[in-house]
Amino acid sequence: MNLKYIKNGIPFLSWLLVDVLFLIAIFTGITLSEDKVDILKTRWVIDEALRINPELQAARLSWDASKERVP
């Protein structure tokens, strides 16, 4: 191999490696942010289900009523 081609190829390979790592970092960040959005949606659904659950509402009202009784 000619030494001239090796010297010219090293900067190209290093820039190629930097570009690939940069793309990986970008897509990893996008994936992580999408996961956080899914977690927030899941938490919202759970909180909403707990808030409108009729059995939990009845239990809360029963608890409030028991606190109002004369000891």
What pLDDT sits at residue 66?
85
Residue 54, pLDDT score? 87
Residue for token pair 């000619």: 2
State if pTM tops 0.75: no
**Helix, strand, coil content of the chain in percent (nearest 5):** 90, 0, 10
- Residue 34 pLDDT: 60
53: left (phi over 0), alpha (psi -120 to 50) or beta: beta
Give the residue carrying structure tokens 């090796």.
6
Distance CA(66)–CA(71), nearest Å, equals 10
| Contact indicator for 40, 46 with CB cutoff of 8 Å | no
Could you read off the pLDDT of 20-61 as tens digits, one per residue?
Answer: 888 787 777 766 666 666 666 788 888 888 888 888 888 888
